[in-house]
Structure 1
Amino acid sequence: MSRTLILWLPPVAALADETAVRPAWLRVDDGVIVDSGQDDGWVDAWERPQDDAADGRLIALAPAADVPLRWHHYPDAAPAQAAAAARLDALKDSLGEASALHVVAGQPAEAGQAVPVAVTTHAAMTAWTDWLAAQGLSPDTILPAAAAVPPPEAETLWAAEVGDETIVRTADRAFLSDPELDPLIAGERTIAPLDAAQMREALLLSLAAPPLDLLSGAWKPKRNWAVDPALLRLAKRLLIALLVVSLMVPVVHAIRLMSDSSRADEVTVETAKKAGIAAPNAEAAEAEIDRRLAAAGGGPLAFSVPASALYDAMRDTPGVTLKSLAHRTDGTLTTTLAAPRVDDINAVLLALQAHGYRITAQPMAGADGQQMANVTIRAVP
């Protein structure tokens, strides 16, 4: 449900006696006027909706006595350019210091449309916002009451009752009626009263799409960010849960790693027992197995292990040839490699290093012009 409270702001001159201020008001629900008055009844009529499905707005109407309106035409200007030009022209035509004036121009929807411009003072805006704050109100929009009066027919002026005011509307102006000045302004044109029903309809249309808002420029409300306590509590809980999960992941990983390591150690000890080795733990079992393999000339110290790795590396580099090969009891393989280029020998050495072997190499030049290197390969990486 859409709910709107329309509250007429008192003229600045009337605010001197706040006890005498009884603003007119309307309450509109879903585009239908459901309540109205000129008393303090708006206090009970206005309650911002608490549910998310409802939409509540407070629109204040500034009196024409303090905010006259004028429409400017710029047929060839874009909407934004027309609004800027109208504001400058309004400043030129206004009396008083520019710094004391609050000039607001609406922006037309299409090029060529008239631009409404409202002129008031910063002092008036201060008086109204202070009065609204004293009532505990923060309006969504402050609309000049004169902006709600529709344009008249040709050769006619409207005299419309809006709140406590009678507003005269010409083709390009809207201002507070003055019995002495109205005939002079009208000239030969007729000043016709605007039907109350037609005025209410025009007012509701202007609320749906306000042509301009006095709460702009220096008076545009600053957005206050409010934190929902429920969302804050939820965010705290999610943060705590994230910290717990972040701590539990490495803990669980460490537990699983320790469990897997323990099972692997048990398998190692059991395998050693089958080979006739009695060891208290996996480290002792592995040491005894390595000792026995070394004594038998097998295991990682055997000739076949580093030699196989050397032949695999040479198979990927056909230009390298083997000049000599020897194996020591400590598992070290010594060899002399020859190739047309040093890069070919380096490719073999890099391949061995990639398999975890420790390499030393001494380059030298061969008698036949080939590149040679004396290489030692540690059988145990």
Structure 2
Amino acid sequence: MKPIRLILIPTLTGQPAPFLIVAPDGGVLQRGVLTLDAVERPEPMRTVAICPGADVSVRWLDLPAGGAAQLRAAAAWRLRDELVATPDRVATVVGPPAGPGQPRPVAVASLALLQAWSDYLEALGLRADVLTPDMLTLAEPEADDVVLAVTFGENVALRGRRFAVTVQADLVDLVAGGRQVVAVEDAAAVERALAAAALSPLVNLLDAGVREGADVRRSWRRAAGLATAVLVSPLLLTAASAARDDMAARRLDAEAVAAIAAAAPDLAREADPVAALRRRADAAPPPGGVTAAAAALFLAIEAVEGAELDMLAAAPEAGVKATVSHPGYSDMEAITRRMAEAGMAVTETATLDDAGRVVSDISIGARP
């Protein structure tokens, strides 16, 4: 067996990509960083790419026996109510069970986002043989009440028993749902986990069975042009963190105050911590975060001829805001309708005429 290159795809398009060269025995032979402006191309070898897990939804499902295509179809059917994208716009892959009769891990991601990641790797001079989300690089803990946590960039990957998700750091305690969060901060331990994932990945998003010739390209260069500089694509899956948030919301009462105190100590000092949390949530990005909001808006604007995204911004206290220019006043109705179909509400905060075009300032939140 030959060495394997493991590369971490960054969240922001302009960032370099850290990599490891892993020996067949799991040892690390080389560490480094690849940049987009490098003149020398990387040496050809088997490459395992770790993608941002915040853009991938993972579930464990009991599925009937069958071949790879049958398992994907069965998993897609089971998850149909959790998707706000049609099945032909997402990639669904099924991993092996932990043992006989055990549930299988199922990962779902946007086809367009898979293409964007592939475009990014191509810009580095690489082609991935395996693409797997960052939270699945962690081994499943033995205890049911423990969740392992590793920080990747600005997000935190969480791994529990039949549970894997990547979320914003301030949502870790709520998403963990009362389980003990054990942070893996030792660099050597993280490297060992990454090396093990490179040698034996749990799922490969490239095994999605995409039909030949499917028009799923959303180039990395086009995505890089958005004002946020985030690697944006039409990922319309918001269930990864929302499901855990909903569970926490349903437990509100006495437990809510304790959870708020753990996740946001500043809110615990408010006279009504629950109301304070709700006010913060109203100003926060919609379910799925900035990436999901930008992706949904990108698709809605694409569907309106002549519409363009001029600006997209997000702030903790102000939520997600955008400026859209379009030919006519009725265009915003079409954009608002498509955003509502994606589970998001659009509020026009300002509208003006500019050289024969209409410019609308909007805010994006969760649909009531």
TM-score after normalising by structure 2 = 0.49
**Rg (Cα) greater in structure:** 1
Structure showing the higher helix proportion among its residues: 1
TM-score after normalising by structure 1 = 0.48
**Using CA pairs below 8 Å that are at least 6 residues apart, which structure has the higher relative contact order?**
2
